[in-house]
């Protein structure tokens, strides 16, 4: 059998509010995404992952779902989605949706019924508990957005649990009726032709049945945000979650023209590597790709990255496929963390490591976090603890397309400010600049597509000194060497002794590096791909 499509894929995450406005209201939508499919096809990506587009009060910008089987009017209609899906598939682009199973909106009909009375048939669809002996919350669990994770409901005299906002009550995944309803949601979208899901906060789905207190976090500091005051020992990553993940996988695998299933499940799981690996499945298959976020938090130093990559590769279970990501809608952008020069090197790293690569919209332009004035802040994460500036708005700003009004994103004032350098850092301008990071991404994606060794080949680290991270990728007779200078000084890499003739495929810098018979001279902040 050939490898499934997603193993060699590059997946492009779209935050729909900020990608392209198709109807002139200042906010992105499905019609806008459709307008930019040719750009995405030309870039060379294989699939798009669209952050939530379901009906929602938008308290958490779509992660508070009030109907799992429809499209929010702000983004369009089900017919618009079907059209987008068909247009994407016609261009060879797969479509993944964000699935938000841990919690719904408090305006979802299920929760409206659940809170109507203690005797309502859907009462047990959510997590209700009596007050503690002192009248306070049932335990010490803390919301990820700060404050107690329990909200008092005066009408029925109980607390309900919310891992995030009070308007996002957690579903009770121990209830078989909840499981059946949510599995039907997956089937609804698979039946429409969706190619997979990114599953939001998968490790949160099951809570310890007796709801004991979480232990205090000895390393807690207020600057981290209140969610870190306790360790989420009992409120996340419970053993029973794996049976649910396995059932999700069984549903996904039941679809697909190949008969073996070609629908992809990516699980959002922020856990140490050893626990992350459990979500590939031990007794039954679970996630195709448990999200690997290590590069987002990594110390950007050659030996540290080499150890990180080696440890991750070694931890993969038999048949487990790796994945890598540099950023997403919740975390600072790579250009902000590393600077523009190293953002180019990071792009080469992302697209030459073994495994599926996930690219966040705008990173191909080198977008940085956009400072948001307090009066324009929209994200509830930041508004809950305003002094800490934890809001995610800076990484969700509109995509700059050209030099026209509002950067071609909209004919109206965008919902969030544009990047200040949008007149020069936009798609149209950077496509005309041979040395731009956008053109670098184009070349990287073209080389990855042309060389199977980069997508599915074997991986081996090479010995390197100083700031150099180097490795080989091999597939059949194809052998590539990748060398990345993570520092600001020239470096020399000794090439393997069995390489007699190396040909440069790509450098992150404009001119070619110096290749000698036994070594490679790397300039500061340079990455290269050699064919050996």
Assign residue 426 a region (left: φ > 0; alpha: ψ between -120 and 50; beta: otherwise). Answer: beta
Q: Which among 20, 178, 24, 163 is positioned nearest to 84, based on CA atoms?
A: 20
Sign of CA dihedral 71, 73, 79, 85: negative
CATH entry, 458-531, from 2.60.40.1180, 3.40.47.10, 1.50.10.10, 1.20.1600.10: 2.60.40.1180
Q: What is the pLDDT of residues 13-44, one digit of tens each?
A: 999 999 999 999 999 999 999 999 999 999 99
pTM: 0.97
Q: What is the spatial distance between Cα 270 and Cα 23, in angstroms, rounded to a whole number?
A: 36
Q: What is the pLDDT of residue 512?
A: 86
> Which residue spans of the chain are classified as CATH 3.90.400.10?
109-161
Q: Which residues contact 452 (CB under 8 A, 6 or more apart)?
A: 8, 475, 476, 478
Whether 64 contacts 108, CB under 8 Å: no
3-class secondary-structure state, position 530? strand
Residue 232, Cβ density class (10 Å: 0-12 exposed, 13-18 middle, ≥19 buried): buried
Return the ∠ at Cα 341 (arms to 340 and 344), rounded to 5°: 90
Q: What is the pLDDT of residue 73?
A: 98
Whether 170 contacts 102, CB under 8 Å: yes
Q: What is the spatial distance between Cα 104 and Cα 421, in angstroms, rounded to a whole number?
A: 38
Torsion angle, alpha carbons of 530, 458, 449, 366, to 10: -70
Q: Does domain 5-103+176-206+237-444 have CATH number 3.20.20.80?
A: yes
Q: What is the pLDDT of residue 260?
A: 56
Q: What is the spatial distance between Cα 368 and Cα 316, in angstroms, rounded to a whole number?
A: 32
Q: What is the pLDDT of residue 499?
A: 82
Catalytic entry in 106, 200, 363, 364 = 200
DSSP letters, 106-150, are TTSHHHHHHTT-TTSTTGGGB-EEPPPTTSS-SS--B-TTSSBSE
268 is a catalytic site residue: yes
Catalytic entry in 268, 286, 369, 526 = 268
- 435: tokens are 């040395």
> Which residue spans of the chain are classified as CATH 3.20.20.80?
5-103+176-206+237-444
* Chain CA centroid to CA 67, Å: 23
Low pLDDT (below 50) residues in the chain: none
**Structural domain 109-161, CATH architecture:** Alpha-Beta Complex (3.90)
> Which residue spans of the chain are classified as CATH 2.60.40.1180?
458-531
Q: What is the pLDDT of residue 172?
A: 99
Return the ∠ at Cα 184 (arms to 87 and 285), rounded to 5°: 90
191 is a catalytic site residue: no
Q: What is the pLDDT of residue 385?
A: 83
Whether 234 contacts 246, CB under 8 Å: no
């Amino acid at each position: 059998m050939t490898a499934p499509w997603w193993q060699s894929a590059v997946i492009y995450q779209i935050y729909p509010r900020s990608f392209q406005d198709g109807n002139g209201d200042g906010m992105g939508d499905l019609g806008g995404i459709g307008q930019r499919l040719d750009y995405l096809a030309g870039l060379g990506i294989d699939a798009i992952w669209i952050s939530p587009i379901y009906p929602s009060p938008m308290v958490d910008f779509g992660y508070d779902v009030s109907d799992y089987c429809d499209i929010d009017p702000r983004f369009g209609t089900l017919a618009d989605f079907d059209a987008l899906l068909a247009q994407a598939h016609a261009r060879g682009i797969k479509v993944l949706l964000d699935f938000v199973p841990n919690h719904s909106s408090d305006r979802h009909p299920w929760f409206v019924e659940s809170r109507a009375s203690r005797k309502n048939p859907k009462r047990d669809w959510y997590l209700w508990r009596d007050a503690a002996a002192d009248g306070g919350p049932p335990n010490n669990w803390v919301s990820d957005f700060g404050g107690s994770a329990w909200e008092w409901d005066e009408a029925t005299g109980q607390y309900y649990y919310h891992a995030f906002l009070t308007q996002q009550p957690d579903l009770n995944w121990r209830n078989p009726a909840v499981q059946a309803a949510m599995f039907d949601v997956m089937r609804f979208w698979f039946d429409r032709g969706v190619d997979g899901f990114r599953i939001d906060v998968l490790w949160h789905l099951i809570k310890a049945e007796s709801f004991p207190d979480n232990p205090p976090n000895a390393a807690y500091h207020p600057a981290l945000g209140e969610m870190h005051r306790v360790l989420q020992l009992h409120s996340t990553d419970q053993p029973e979650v794996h049976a649910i993940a396995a059932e999700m996988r069984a549903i996904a695998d039941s679809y697909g023209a190949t008969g073996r299933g070609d629908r992809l499940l990516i699980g959002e799981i922020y856990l140490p590597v050893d626990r992350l690996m459990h979500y590939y499945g031990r007794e039954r298959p679970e996630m195709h790709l448990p999200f690997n976020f290590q590069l987002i938090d990594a110390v950007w130093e050659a030996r540290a990255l080499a150890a990180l990559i080696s440890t991750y590769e070694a931890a993969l279970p038999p048949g487990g496929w790796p994945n890598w990501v540099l950023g997403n809608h919740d975390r600072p952008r790579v250009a902000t963390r590393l600077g523009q020069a190293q953002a180019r090197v990071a792009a080469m790293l992302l697209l030459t490591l073994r495994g599926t690569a996930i690219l966040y919209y705008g990173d191909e332009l080198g977008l940085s976090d956009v400072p948001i004035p307090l009066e324009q802040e929209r994200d509830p994460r930041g508004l809950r603890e305003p002094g800490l500036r934890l809001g995610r708005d800076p990484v969700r700003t509109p995509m700059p397309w050209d030099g026209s009004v509002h950067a071609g994103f909209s004919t109206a004032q965008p919902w969030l400010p544009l990047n200040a350098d949008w007149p020069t850092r936009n798609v149209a301008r950077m496509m005309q600049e041979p040395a731009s990071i956008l053109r670098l991404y184009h070349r990287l994606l073209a080389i990855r597509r042309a060389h199977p060794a980069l997508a599915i080949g074997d991986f081996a680290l090479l010995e390197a000194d100083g700031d150099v991270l180097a490795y080989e990728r091999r597939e059949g007779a194809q052998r590539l060497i990748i060398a990345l200078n993570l520092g600001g000084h020239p470096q020399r890499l000794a090439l393997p002794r069995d390489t007699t003739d190396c040909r440069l495929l790509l450098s992150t810098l404009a001119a070619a590096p110096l290749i000698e018979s036994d070594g490679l001279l790397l300039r500061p902040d340079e990455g290269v791909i050699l064919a050996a």
